[in-house]
Structure 1
Amino acid sequence: MIELAVLDIAGTTVDEHGDVYVALEEAVRAAGATPGTADIRRWMGAGKREAVTALLSAEQPDRTPAPAVVDAVYADFRERLRAAYGARPPAPLPGVPEAVTTLRAAGIKVALTTGFDREVTGVLLKEIGWDTGFLDAVVCVDDVAAGRPAPYMIFRAMEATGVRDVSRVLTAGDTIRDLQAGTNAGAGIVAGVLTGDLDAATLGGVRHTHLLPSVAAVPALLSLS
């Protein structure tokens, strides 16, 4: 029996219109980098500071950008994202609030994990009204030693919710890194969802247990609806 559902945020539970990757590309371009679409896609689901560092490093593979440069570009990214959310607020994906409510009513705890830091995550969740009481735990990339595909955010969600058996954990996400993190954690169910930018063929090429149209389908998968 599943005791904990660990769900990604952007593209999985929340529609933020892809603004995070637009802001990421704009910020690194403003710093002089020239990433292509494939370069940005490669870092979907990753910690955003890690993504900034890697995208800047791609221009000078023999030299890691100075921490002060990374800090400045990351701060620019956050400001661009905040402005984008102000102009076009994020919203829960269809059926997701109902799915979360159904899971929790059945005694299954629900945690969100994200490649955003705590500050950005707080702004996003407050915008959609999920900042108090709606979830059992929220784990951000700055809460752990490494972001996806490392399994640490999943383990931290287990710790926060008192779940000890990883085979009783379901993970769901819309990126390759989400699936890799679930697999690396040894989760009982590792589900890819098709509400992000990746199609079934792309997600299906990565180890998983299920492909779902949306997180809204999770209760039915668990025979709760």
Structure 2
Amino acid sequence: MTTPLSLVVLDMAGTTVDDGGAVYTALRECVEALGVVVDDESLQAWMGADKRTAIRALAGDLATPDVVETAYADFAARLERFYGERPPVPIEGVREAFEQLRSAGIKIALTTGFAHDVADPLIEAIGWTPGAEGSPVDAIVCADDVAAGRPAPYMIFHAMEAAGAVSTSAVLVGGDTVVDVEAGTNAGAAYVVGVLTGQLSAEQLAKAPHTDILPSVAAIPELLGIG
């Protein structure tokens, strides 16, 4: 079966990359270091968002520009340490799914709430830098590439531009957080897929408008009738 899709746009940590939950831990710890108690519900609400925006929201009245930048630097340092102790790896089945999608003529783009200073070394370590030999990824869009991160759809539109996709009716968006799904819906993507490889349950992801909930990105080719 063929598919009209030309582009699949996927989140990184928790969706295509297994980082052992390091992003959640680093974000919580950098905000709690300011003296703010971060509960699970508040943390989950901001996962997938631009990290400076998340810190600003979680820190509340303490979130002056200087405090946000200091906390972001703390976040990046903690994450670097966590990744040094436990290097991130592709989630099981993701490489194979990428190969199936690309064999069907579908391009792959990744989006992330990280800025390039965090995302680029991570992607290079995995071997997914766009344009590098053997990389299955055609484009990567970071939070600092756009005016606003998720749930705004701008990273998706930027990924479309980078990959040469001209219609959202030919795009699938997938991610493991509510804001990932909301961004896909806000972009008007043909498929908006929540995946269960992150920290949220199907019930939690289903609170946002979506087309499908899947166990993993590895199930996307089957969803599309590929392979």
TM-score normalized with structure 2 length: 0.94
Counterpart for residue 197 of structure 2: 195
CA distance in 1, matches of 2:18, 2:126: 10
Comparing 171-180 with 196-205, greater Cα deviation is found at: 196-205
SS in 2 for 1:134: coil
Out of 90, 97, 103, the position equivalent to 1:92 is 90
The amino acid across from 2:5 in the alignment is I
Displacement of 1:223: 1.1
The reply on whether 1:114 has 2:112 as its aligned counterpart is: yes
The amino acid across from 1:4 in the alignment is L
Displacement of 1:113: 0.4
SS in 2 for 1:163: coil
Q: Which runs of 5+ in 1 are unaligned?
A: none
TM-score normalized with structure 1 length: 0.95
What fraction of aligned residue pairs are identical, expressed as a percent?
A: 55
Deviation per CA, 1:52-98, whole angstroms, max 9, x where unpaired?
A: 111111xx3xxx62211111110011000000000011110000011
SS in 2 for 1:31: coil
Displacement of 1:220: 1.0
Counterpart for residue 124 of structure 1: 122
1:129-148 alignment to 2 at 5 Å?
A: 129-131=127-129, 132=132, 133-148=135-150
CA distance in 2, matches of 1:5, 1:118: 20
Q: Which runs of 5+ in 2 are unaligned?
A: none
Counterpart for residue 188 of structure 2: 186
Deviation per CA, 1:159-183, whole angstroms, max 9, x where unpaired?
A: 0011101110000111111110000
Out of 77, 95, 114, the position equivalent to 1:79 is 77
The amino acid across from 2:214 in the alignment is L
Displacement of 1:37: 1.4
Displacement of 1:219: 0.8
Displacement of 1:42: 1.2
CA distance in 1, matches of 2:202, 2:39: 22
CA distance in 2, matches of 1:3, 1:48: 29
Deviation per CA, 1:89-111, whole angstroms, max 9, x where unpaired?
A: 11100000111111112110100
Out of 11, 22, 26, the position equivalent to 1:23 is 26
SS in 2 for 1:170: strand
Deviation per CA, 1:174-225, whole angstroms, max 9, x where unpaired?
A: 1111110000000000011111111111112221111111100111111111
The amino acid across from 2:209 in the alignment is R
Count of aligned pairs:
220
The reply on whether 1:11 has 2:14 as its aligned counterpart is: yes
